[in-house]
Structures are given as structure tokens and as C-alpha cells.
């Protein structure tokens, strides 16, 4: 059973930055393809970025050039650096494997508002 613990969310003004972290249980983390997902009120959960076991990254168009996903295999942690935040980035952010495992963490709330 994979356990996922997200942190780092908060309230930020438009144009601001946040760095999300996700600690993942399991000794084979380094082999996982990991993703950051988000769910805004009234919307389905969507993938925003993913990183392969070799560090190859992919992003949805809406966050390209603003978000950066990275990982530290020694710490079983995946990060999401979010810059130039916009109100439409407001959502609960989750990490999970890609494709996602059945079990999700509690997520971390990101609110972008002036």
C-alpha cells in the first residue's frame, strides 16, 4: 500500500509562488513515475505534471513555463514548484503515481487570490 503525504499549499496572491512537497512511502519510489494532480471545485481531478523514474518531465499546456516538477529519490519526495500563479490555479493538489494508484492522500489546498 502506497502512502502519499502532500504539504506546502496555502493562500498566495496572483503572480506569487508556492512549492509543494509529497512524501511517498515504499522502498521502490525511485522506480515510480510520479504525477501532480489538481481538483478545482466542481471539476474532475486532472493531471498537471508528471516525472519519470529517469527525470523526464511533462506538463499540461496550462502550466507549462510556470510549474516545475522534480524529485529527490533519496528522500522519497516529489516536488512541484509553482510560479506566476493565477486564480485559475486554485485547487486541491494531490500527488500520486502515474497512472494513479487507487489510494490518494489528503491533498494540499492552493488558493490564488488577491
Q: What is the pLDDT of residues 38-66, one digit of tens each?
A: 999 999 999 999 999 999 999 999 999 99
pLDDT at residue 28 above 90?
A: no
Residue 20 has a pLDDT of 98
The mean predicted confidence, pLDDT, of the chain is 96
Separation CA 26–CA 8 (nearest Å): 21
Residue 98 has a pLDDT of 95
Measured in whole angstroms, the distance separating CA 43 from the mean position of its chain's CA atoms is 17
Residue 44 has a pLDDT of 97
pLDDT at residue 1 above 90?
A: no
pLDDT band at 2 (very low <50, low <70, confident <90, very high): confident
Amino acid at each position: 500500500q502506497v502512502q502519499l503525504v502532500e504539504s506546502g499549499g496555502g493562500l498566495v496572491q496572483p503572480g506569487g509562488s508556492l512549492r509543494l512537497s509529497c512524501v511517498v512511502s515504499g522502498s521502490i519510489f525511485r522506480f515510480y513515475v510520479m504525477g501532480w494532480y489538481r481538483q478545482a471545485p466542481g471539476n474532475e481531478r486532472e493531471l498537471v505534471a508528471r516525472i519519470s523514474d529517469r527525470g523526464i518531465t511533462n506538463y499540461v499546456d496550462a502550466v507549462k513555463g510556470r510549474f516545475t516538477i522534480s524529485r529527490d529519490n533519496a528522500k522519497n519526495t516529489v516536488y512541484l514548484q509553482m510560479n506566476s500563479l493565477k486564480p485559475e490555479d486554485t485547487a486541491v493538489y494531490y500527488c500520486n503515481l502515474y497512472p494513479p494508484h487507487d489510494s490518494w492522500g489528503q491533498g494540499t489546498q492552493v488558493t490564488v487570490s488577491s
